[in-house]
Amino acid sequence: MRFDLVDLQLFIAVTEARSITAGALRAHLALASASARIKGLEAALGVALLKRGRRGVEPTAAGESLLDHARIILHNVEMMRGDLAAYATGAKASVHLLANTSGLSEYLPKALAAFLREHPDINVDVEERESTDIATAIATGVADLGFAAEHALQDNLERFLFCEDRLVLVAARRGALAGRRQIDFREVSACDFVGLTNSTALALHIARHAARLGARLRFRARLRDFDAICQMVAADVGIAVVPEAAARRCAGSMPIMMIRIRDSWANRKLAICARSFKSLPRPAKQLVEHLREAAQC
């Protein structure tokens, strides 16, 4: 059984557009040629891949399976082309890693710096995403490696724990919450907050859980990093939710206090994840082994 990459690209285009006509256009093929290729795929596999109706097409169960595999195959082909092109031009190999806000700002920099020193022939491209988005991207083959909250990962993803990432409330030492050691988030949902910009993964995570309490947090300021946020908190502009590691670091030089959040969503474990660690490209495998050794769990 042979698969043509053009057929796989066409099948992805057709299923995403829910139309053979629109899929053919995306794949730069004539409608007749596209229709013949889809029928040829179905004949070769001996199973219907699409349900055809008046409003277009949608994949059958077999079609959904082919779609998952096709995306992974084409992603791997692009990775292969990129790696080989890098060798041909003398450029460095590259690893694409998705990470949530805490991982990107608090836990990855030190580990990645050590890895890059040891592997001068490898670059690491880190992209910030929310943990649930990272899980989806890894599951669908869009990216090779993820660094995300463990609870957001599907059971079929391979993973290993890297560290614990407790979120805490930080407040001015002489503010209204002075003396508190722990708190339910509902108690402070009506307070003034200082937080990360809307586009960050952690800001979305906090907003989602506030919404489940029926609250919409009121922000006096939104900033790009935890140190700046803690400086605002120290000036009693508002309170903030930050990773415990960032809070401890800032508390050493700023008049802020940490308060434990009793809600379960504030207690997270971060994990390195992939569809299959064995099937990763060699540079990604090297990064995985380095992160295993650097893991704090």
Dihedral, 118, 278, 71, 53 alpha carbons, nearest 10: -160
Q: What is the pLDDT of residues 33-75, one digit of tens each?
A: 999 999 999 999 999 999 998 889 999 999 999 998 898 888 8
Chain position carrying tokens 């277009």: 56
pLDDT at 198 over 90: no
Residues near 252 by beta carbon (within 8 Å), at least 6 away in sequence: none
> Do the domains 85-163+269-294 and 5-75 match in fold?
no
Domain 166-266: give its CATH code: 3.40.190.290
- Which of these ranges, 9-13, 66-70, 138-142, 146-150, has the smallest mean pLDDT? 138-142
pLDDT at 176 over 60: yes
CATH for 5-75 (2.40.110.10, 3.40.50.150, 1.10.10.10, 2.60.40.1120)? 1.10.10.10
Helix (H, G, I), strand (E, B) or coil at 61: helix
Listed in order, strand segments (DSSP E) in 41-184 are 50-53, 56-59, 93-99, 122-128, 145-149, 158-172, 182-183
pLDDT at 90 over 60: no
The pLDDT confidence band at residue 87, using thresholds 50, 70 and 90, is low
Instruction: Output the CA torsion sign for 182, 183, 185, 189.
Output: negative
Can you tell me the mean pLDDT for 176-203? 91
CA distances to 25, 78, 93, 283 from 84, rounded to whole Å, are 30, 10, 9, 12
Q: What are the backbone angles phi and psi of residue 282, rounded to the nearest 5°?
A: -55, -45
Chain position carrying tokens 């300021």: 221
Token pair belonging to 116: 């890059």
Domains of the chain, by residue range, sit at 5-75, 85-163+269-294, 166-266
pLDDT at 199 over 90: no
What is the structure's pLDDT at 161?
A: 95
pLDDT at 225 over 60: yes
Q: Work out the mean pLDDT of the chain and round it to a whole number.
A: 90
pLDDT at 237 over 80: yes
The pLDDT confidence band at residue 4, using thresholds 50, 70 and 90, is confident
Domain 85-163+269-294 is of which CATH architecture?
A: 3-Layer(aba) Sandwich (3.40)
Helix (H, G, I), strand (E, B) or coil at 263: coil
Q: What angle, 0 to 180 degrees and rounded to 10, lies between the N-to-C axes of helices 201-212 and 131-139? A: 110
* Buried residues in 196-227 as b, exposed as e (16+ CB within 10 A): beeebbbbbbbbebbeeeeeebebeebbeebe
What does the angle CA 133 – CA 211 – CA 224 come to, to the nearest 5 degrees?
Answer: 60
What is the structure's pLDDT at 247?
A: 95
Give dist(CA 256, CA 178) in Å, integer.
10
pLDDT at 89 over 60: no
Can you tell me the mean pLDDT for 153-161? 93
E strand or H helix at 113: helix 108-118
Token pair belonging to 156: 């079929």
